[in-house]
Structure 1
Amino acid sequence: MQTDSEVLPQRSGGLDICALIEQHEGRNYELHAEHINPANVRTLQTIGFDRCYVRGEGPYLWDIEGTKYLDFLSGYGVFGLGRNHPDVRRVLIDFLNTDYPSLVKMEAPMLSGLLAQELKKRMPNQLDMVFFGNSGADGVETAIKYAKCATGKPGIIYCEKAFHGLTSGALSLNGDENFRSGFAPFMPDCRAIPFNDLEALEAELLKGDVAGFIVEPVQGKGVNIPSPGYLYEAAALCHKHGALFIDDEVQTGMGRAGRFLAIEHEGEIDPDIVILSKALSGGYIPISAVLCKKWIHDKVFSSMQRSVVHSSTFSQGNFAMAAGLAALDVIDRYDLIAKAEKLGDFLGHALQAMIPRFEFLHEVRWRGLMMGIEFGPPHSLGLKTAWKLIHTMDKSLFPQAAIIPLLDKHHIITQIAGHHIDVIKLLPPLVISEDDVQWFLGAFEDVLIQMHRFPGPAWDVLTDIGRMALTHRAR
C-alpha cells in the first residue's frame, strides 16, 4: 500500500512536478541508495560530494541550503552553454507551443535537415552527410559500423588512455582497464596504440586490415594534448593505407577547445568522420551527430533496401533538433568560441605562473576551456613522505586533496581526470566570466597552500579516505 509520500501529487491536468520536487527535496541520496546505485552514493558521501542541488543558471549551481557553487565540471562538458541558457529555453518553449509533430518515422523531418546543414558549414573539410543519434557512445557505435562497411575491413585502432563511451562496441575502444574489467570478451580486431605515436599507428595500418583509426584530439582522461602535426600526419597515414580517420569531438567539439572542433588547431585537416554530442543541445536533451564523407555514406546506405540499415528510435527527434539549432545560434551570437580561447589562455597562463611556487604542481595543459592540472612528486623530504604515503594507499587518491577542499571550502566543482593519474580536470562552461576565473584562481591558490602544509587537515582527510579504501579492498 502506498504511503502519502509515495503518492504522486496532482494538479488540474495531472502530475504536479513542482510539488513532487518540493515533497522529496533532499532525499536524493536516500532514493539513489535504494533504487539506483548505492555504490556511487557511498563514493559521493565519502569524498563529501553528496550535495543536493536545486537550481542551475549559467556556470552556477545552488544547493538545498542556498549555497552558490561555481561549476567547473559542467556535466562532463554537456553544459558548454551553462545551465538553462535562456535563449535555448525560449526556442524550446516556442517549439513546444507549436504542437509540431516529431518522430513520425515514415517521413524526412525538416529540422534535422536544417541542423545537418548548419553543422556541415562548421566542418574543416567536405563532410556531406549527417546521422543523428542520442549520445557520444551512440555516435562512436555509428562510426564503427560506417568504417567497417565502407572499407570492408574489420580492424579499429584506438589510443591507450582513450575514452569513447561505455556501450559494448565503444568499450572495446576504451584505453582504461578500470572501465573494461568484468565486461569481456570485447569486439575483436580492436587494437590500442600509444597516443602521439605515428610509428605505432603506421605499423598497425601496414597490416592491411584496419577500417579506421579513432582518436580524441585532446584525450579526456588526463587532458593529453597531441604534439603539433600529429593529427594531421595520422590522417594522412590513414588515407595512405585505406583506413578512415575518425575524429571523436564528443567532449572537445562545439567550441570548447577555442575552435568549433579541437582538431582545427592542426590547421587544414581532412577527417573522414566527425562525432559530436554533449554540448550540442545546450544541455537540454540527449543528442549526437556523426558527419561523414558522401562515399562512406553511400557504402552504408547503398540501396533503397538498405535505406534504414542503421537507425535509432529517437534519431532526429524534433525537440533535440530545435535545441541543436538554438545552441549553434547562441555560440555564434555570443562569440563563445573566441571567448573560450581567450579565457582558457588567461586561466592556463595564470596557473602556469603558480608552478615555481608549489612543489606538487608540475604541469598545466589546455585547449581553450578544457584543462588538465597535473601534480607530481615534490623535492622536500616532508612532502615526499606525504606523496609516498598517499600513493601507497591508492594511486587515484592524491588529486582528492585538491578537489575536496575546492568543493567544501570554496564551492567549486571539479573532477579527477582519470584512474591512477595525478591530474584534475577543468571543463567550465563557455559562458564563464573573468570574475569566475579569478574565483577559481584564488581558491586553487589557497588549496595549494594547504596541500603544502604537512601534516595538516588536507592530509588527514586523504588518510581517512585511503584507510577506508584499503579496508574495502581487504574485505
Structure 2
Amino acid sequence: MKNIPVQEIKPAGNGETFDIKALLAAREPERYSLHTHYLNEMMVKVLQTIGYDVGFKSGQGQYLFDRNDARYLDLLSGWGVFAIGRNHPLLRETLTSVLASDLPNLVQMDVSVLAGLLAERLLGFVPFLDKVFFCNSGTEAVEAAIKFARRATGRPGIVYCEHAFHGLSYGSLSLNGDQIFREGFGDTLPGCHAVPFNDLAALEKALAKHDIAAFIVEPVQGKGVNLPDDGYLAGVQALCRKYGTLFVADEIQTGLGRTGKFLAIEHWGVEPDMVLVAKALSGGHVPVGAVLSRKGIFEKVFSRMDRAVVHGSTFAKNDLAMAAGLATLEVIEREQLVEKAARNGERLLTFFQGLADRYELVRTVRGKGLMIGIEFGAPRSLKLKASWTLLETVNTGLFCQLITIPLFKEHKILVQVAGHASHTVKLLPTLVIDDGDCDWIERAFETVIADSHKVPGAVWSLGKTLADHAMKARAAK
C-alpha cells in the first residue's frame, strides 16, 4: 500500500475553532502512513500482510464498521475491554455529565466521592473483601499486588503459573509465562518463580520454604483459555493458608461477567486475599484498574499517616474513570449481562463441541461463559497431515490464521489466536451479543472449518501464501 505523505498538523489559533471531527475526517486517508511514520511500523505491516487494513471508522455495541460501511462482528472486544459493547449510551451520557459538572478532580489533597462510590459498589459484588486500591490499568493492578503482598508478609517471593499473562511493565512482566515478551529486555524482578498450572504438588513445594509473599493466578488462563481442574483453586487456597502466602486472583480479563459469573472464582467457591480487575471496568473509554483486598493487607501497607501516600498513581481515582466504572457496573446489572454471558456461552460451547466431534482438525474446546478457546491439532488423514506439517515447520501456530483470516475476509468476524505460537482460536466477544450474533458465529465457523478440511482448496492456498511470507521474513532477519 502506497504511503500518503504526512501533512503537518496546524494548531488552532487566532480565533479558529478546534474541530476534532473535522480533523479526523480530513486525515483519515493518512491512517497507515501516520502510524508508519510516527508509531509502530511493524503493526501496520502485519495488518497489510494479512488483509486487516480495512480502516474501521465506527463501532456500536458488538459491531464494527469499516470505511465502506461493512459491518463486522467483534469477537475480540478490545481484548475484553468492551464487555458492555462499544459506545454504550449510558456510559457516554455519564461521562458527558461529569465533564459538564466542573468537578474539581484530582485535587490530590482531598478524596473523591466518585472513588468512594465505585469502591462501595465493587465490594458489594465481592463481600469477602474490604478495601479497594484504584490504578490505571491491569498491569498497574498487578504491580500494586506485588508491592502489597511483600509489604504485608515481609517475604520476597512471588509465585505464578507457566503460560500466565499478567501484563508488560517490569513487575508484571516478571510474572509472565511466555518468554517472547521478555526477550531483549534484560533482567526482570528477582524472587519470582513459575510453577505449572493445575499442579498443586509443585505449588506446595514452592511455598514450603515459607518465603513466598503471594501466589498470583488467572482463574482461567487467558493465553490458552486453560481451565483449572475442579479442585485446583480450592487446593490453592488451602495451601496459601497453610504456608502464610497471600492468594491473588488476576480477574483482569475474566472478571465482571466474562465467564458467566461476576468473578470467575465464583465457579469454584474460593475467596482470595486479593482480586485484581481492570479492562471491562473501564467501559472502553477511560482506563481503570483496581485491587480488591482484605483489610489487614491495607493496614500493613498504609500503616501510618506518613505512609498514606506510600503507593499511588497520579491519575488513579480521576472522576472520569470512576464514573465510567460506576456506569459499567450499572449496565452489567441493568441488562443482566452476567446471566446473558452464561446463557450464550453455554449455547456456543455446545456448538463448538459439536464441531470437535465432526472435524478432525478441531482437537478440543474449552471455556466458561463468553471466554471460549477452540484448539486445533494435527489431523489423522494423510493429505491434511502433510499440509499441517508444512505450515507447522515454517511457523508454529500458523494454521490458526487459516481460520481467522477467512472468518474476517469472507464472514466479517474479527477474532484472533489466544497467544504467540498458539493453536487455539479465542473468542472474547462483548457480553451484549444476541441470538442473531450466535447464529452468525455458528454459520461462519462451520463453513471455514469445513473448508479447512478440503485439500487442495482455497484455505490451503492461503496457507501456502502465509508460509511463503513467513519464510521470506525469516530469510530477511
TM range (shorter): over 0.9
Q: Say whether residues 1:18 and 2:21 are aligned partners.
A: yes
Deviation at 1:10, TM superposition (A): 7.6
Return the letter of the residue paired with 1:204: A
Distance of aligned partners of 1:345 and 1:9 in 2 relative to their CA distance in 1, 3 Å threshold:
farther
Identity %: 50
Partners of 2:8 and 2:295 in 1: how far apart? 55
Give the alignment partner of residue 168 of structure 1, picking from 159, 167, 170: 170
Report the counterpart of residue 156 of structure 1 in structure 2.
Answer: 158
**1:40 positional shift:** 1.3
TM-score under structure 2 length normalisation: 0.97
1:52 aligns with 2:43: no
SS in 1 for 2:140: helix
CA spacing shift, 1:454–1:8, aligned 2, 3 Å: farther
**Aligned residue in 1 for 2:359:** 358
Partner secondary structure for residue 53 of structure 1: coil
* 3-state secondary structure, aligned to 1:289: strand
- In 2, the alpha carbon distance for the partners of 1:414 and 1:161 equals 21
Q: 1:295 to 1:414 in 2, by over 3 A?
A: same
TM-superposition CA deviations, 1:89-139 (whole Å, max 9, x none): 11111221111121010001111001000000101x521111100000000
Q: Equivalents in 2 of 1:323, 1:141: separation in Å?
A: 22
Q: Find the counterpart in structure 2 of residue 244 from structure 1.
A: 246
The 1:4/1:309 distance shift into structure 2, 3 A limit, reads: closer
Q: CA RMSD in A?
A: 1.5
From the superposition, tell whether residues 236 and 16 of structure 1 become closer, same or farther in structure 2 (CA, over 3 Å). Answer: same
SS at match of 1:184: coil
Q: TM-score, normalised by structure 1?
A: 0.97
SS of the equivalent of 1:27 reads: helix
Count of aligned positions: 472
* Equivalence for 1:183: 185
Offset of 1:45 from its aligned partner? 1.3
| Counterpart for residue 78 of structure 1 | 81
Aligned equivalent of 2:282:
281
What do residues 210-263 of structure 1 show as CA deviations (whole Å, max 9, x unaligned)? 000000000000100001121111011111101000000000001111011001
Q: For 1:249-294, what per-residue CA distance to the aligned partner results, in whole angstroms no more than 9, with x for missing partners?
A: 0000011110110011002x22000000001021111000101001
Segments of 5+ residues of structure 2 without an aligned counterpart are none
Q: Equivalent residues in 2 for 1:72-111 (5 A)?
A: 72-111=75-114
Q: What code does the residue aligned with 1:107 have?
A: D
Kept in 2, the 8 Å contact 1:32–1:41? The answer is yes
**Which residue matches 1:210?**
212
User: 1:252 is aligned with what amino acid?
Assistant: T
Q: Which amino acid aligns with 1:327?
A: T
CA distance in 1 between counterparts of 2:131 and 2:409 reads 47
1:470 aligns with 2:471: yes
Q: Is the Cα–Cα contact under 8 Å of residues 158 and 192 in structure 1 kept in the other structure? A: yes
Counterpart of 2:416? Answer: 415
Partner in structure 2 of residue 392 of structure 1: 393
Q: Which of 256, 259, 284 is matched with 1:257 structurally?
A: 259
Is 2:350 the partner of 1:375?
no
Are residue 114 (structure 1) and residue 117 (structure 2) matched? Answer: yes
User: What is the aligned partner in structure 2 of residue 309 from structure 1?
Assistant: 310
Question: Partners of 2:109 and 2:442 in 1: how far apart?
Answer: 53
- CA drift of 1:455 comes to 1.7
How far apart in 2 are the matches of 1:322 and 1:291? Answer: 18
Is 2:217 aligned against 1:221?
A: no
- 1:213, 1:246 within 8 Å by CA — same for their partners in 2? yes
Partner of 2:237: 235
- Residue identity opposite 1:201 in structure 2: L
TM-aligned CA deviation for residue 333 of structure 1: 0.7
Give the C-alpha shift of residue 3 in structure 1.
Answer: 8.7
Deviations 1:159-216 (A, max 9, x none): 0000000001100000001111111211111001100000000000002210000000
CA contact (8 A) 2:374 2:424 kept: yes
Matched to 1:149, the amino acid is R
Q: Which amino acid counterpart does residue 58 of structure 1 have in structure 2? A: G
Task: Give the C-alpha shift of residue 26 in structure 1.
Answer: 3.2
Distance across 1 between alignment mates of 2:451 and 2:51: 18
| SS of structure 2 residue aligned to 1:308 | coil
Contact 2:265–2:271 under 8 Å retained in 1? no
Which whole-Å CA distance do the structure 1 matches of 2:333 and 2:453 have between them? 43
In structure 2, distance between residues paired with 1:106 and 1:304:
13
C-alpha distance in 1, partners of 2:161/2:61? 34
The one-letter code sitting in structure 2 at the alignment partner of 1:155 is G
Q: Distance in 2 between matches of 1:151 and 1:376?
A: 44
Give the drift of 1:51.
2.1
